[in-house]
Structure 1
Amino acid sequence: MVRASEIALNRELWALVNERFTGPAAAALWSRPEMGWGLYGVPERRLGVLGEVDGLDVLELACGTAYWSAWLTRAGARVVAVDLSMEQLTTARTLQRSTGPAFPLVQADAEHVPLASASFDLVLSEHGAAAWCDPEYWLPEVARVLRPGGLLVFLTNTVLSALCVPEDEGVATSSLQRGQRAAYHVRWPGGGAEFHPSHGDWIRLLRRFGFHIEALHELYAPQDAPDHPYYEIVSADWASQWPAEELWVARRTLEAVTHNG
């Protein structure tokens, strides 16, 4: 029941985020000519984590307004986009009509994906499942829907940034505000429940559920970058000194574990 209440809380939060922030911002991202990761749009061509996506079956988990799905569809992938928030998916449908392209949109929780096993070559999530869903549940779901040898790519906040955000929320400081164990599962006073495992936790969990880790990219803000217009996780100055986001790349092994035991 506790987890169900947190999922409902996150759904309410993202309805509010969609109402306040994602209109013009989502349209700008859908129209962007190239793929870029995270708050500061680090180009995918520079990181090269996805490889050739033309012809791949791709699932975007916790897609938000689904701009990644739009980029990947334009690159030739067959994409399905899943999100908990009907408001975010409504924004995505509006942008499909106004900007294109079209692809399937599914309302669902990333911890319980209503799609067939072994259906996808690539599962991607940017600031989605990794922060907002319990890794004990969403990682085995990814292992289930991926084909053997398929790729999981996810971007989330660094555990360091979570450690430096004050307990009453706000922008990350230059000093630790909580213990590392406390950051694993955080219930914010302003709404929302998040997960910020340590690197050791991520390695343990990914291996447990049948993934081989291929890369971990720590992302910084470019020098002299402006602050993000509405996501106040970190300032650009903070993110130019310490990594604010981390991009994990892991491959499903032939003997993936797909249960939660």
Structure 2
Amino acid sequence: MSYRGRVTEIPTIETPSHRRVTEDETRHANRAWWDLDADDYQDEHGAFLGDVDFVWCPERLREADAGLLGDVRGKKVLELGAGAAAGARWLRLQGAEPIAMDLSAGMLRHAREAADRSGVRVPLVQADALALPFRAASFDIVCTAFGAIPFVADSAAAMREVARVLRPGGSWVFSVTHPMRWVFWDEPDESGLVARNSYFDRSPYVERDERGRLTYLEQHRTLGDRIRELVGAGFVLRDLVEPEWPEGHEETWGQWSPLRGRLFPGTAIFVCDLPAH
């Protein structure tokens, strides 16, 4: 999982606006951000995610319990936006043939270090989700926990790329911040319970440095937008999972907290199939 979570206190934040941000700007900012933030991210969240585990979201839903990918034995799996690739290593131990892909060299460095610690190794690929370096129909499953999809400007194109590399009958499962969270400021306390933004405003969330350079960007799509993207790419939506905050889970992860999590969803997981022809 490589999701930072939006914050509102730092002075470099740009209020969401209708200013167009190009795909090149987005790609450069996201690569630079995750390269620079990789160490801090792993220091903060590495223990939660583990070296060999597949955790779908801050609500602590694990693939070992949810089984959203089905039986992965012998399946060729691409973990998109894999971060430190804990999910791909877990899939390897389940008998899958995974590849872990990420845009960030910093995150892939942590993937190599975790492989050294755990002794579980998977192929690592640095690439862009909008230009997957794989032949058509290469994988049985593509999956990601908060990788790539929230960050690319043209997420519909990313869905089409996933469909291209999937074999007919394959599955595409991905988690993102629940779209309704866009309505609220990203604060884990009571201030994050007040609706302040329009759910229908698709303007990206942008942060810039003191020189005005784009440093971080996140995209918002409604539930309807996501479904239209999936249908447009040829997918059939099999399930939409909205994990509930579990009893006994008292950790806070950015905007995710027990207070907010027990009132409204923080994560949406889309479980999709590419029909066999």
Shared fold (TM-score, shorter chain, > 0.5)? yes
Give the match for residue 16 of structure 2: none
* Alignment partners' CA distance in 2, 1:152 and 1:75: 18
Equivalent residue runs for 1:105-120 within 5 Å: 105-120=124-139
With CA pairs under 8 Å and 6+ residues apart, which has the higher RCO, 1 or 2? Answer: 2
User: Which residue identity is paired with 2:25?
Assistant: S
Deviates more, 1:13-22 or 1:49-58: 13-22
Aligned pairs, number:
249
Equivalent residue runs for 1:1-261 within 5 Å: 2-23=22-43, 25-26=45-46, 29-31=49-51, 35-133=54-152, 134-165=154-185, 170-171=187-188, 173-183=192-202, 185-188=204-207, 191-228=215-252, 231-254=253-276
Distance 1:98 1:45, change over 3 A: closer
Aligned-residue identity in percent: 30
TM-score scaled to structure 1, two decimals? 0.88
Q: CA deviation at 1:174?
A: 1.3
User: Which residue identity is paired with 1:41?
Assistant: R
Q: CA deviation at 1:27?
A: 5.9
Q: CA deviation at 1:31?
A: 4.1
TM-score scaled to structure 2, two decimals? 0.83
* Alignment partners' CA distance in 1, 2:121 and 2:37: 23
Asked if 2 retains the 8 angstrom alpha-carbon contact of 1:223 and 1:240, the reply is no
* Alignment partners' CA distance in 2, 1:108 and 1:73: 21
Aligned-residue CA RMSD (Å): 2.1
* Alignment partners' CA distance in 2, 1:24 and 1:223: 22
- How far does the alpha carbon of each residue in 1:34-73 deviate from its partner, in whole angstroms, 9 at most, with x for none? 5432113213344221111010000000111111101101
User: Which residue identity is paired with 2:184?
Assistant: C
Distance 1:31 1:2, change over 3 A: closer
Q: CA deviation at 1:3?
A: 1.3
Which secondary structure state, in structure 1, belongs to the residue aligned with residue 194 of structure 2? coil
User: Which residue identity is paired with 2:73?
Assistant: D
Asked if 2 retains the 8 angstrom alpha-carbon contact of 1:164 and 1:178, the reply is yes
Asked if 1 retains the 8 angstrom alpha-carbon contact of 2:237 and 2:272, the reply is yes
Asked if 1 retains the 8 angstrom alpha-carbon contact of 2:49 and 2:55, the reply is no
Q: CA deviation at 1:30?
A: 3.7
Uncovered stretches (5+) of structure 2, i.e. residues with no partner: 1-20, 210-214
* Alignment partners' CA distance in 2, 1:129 and 1:253: 23
* Alignment partners' CA distance in 1, 2:260 and 2:43: 27
Kindly indicate which of the two structures has a greater share of residues assigned to helix. 1
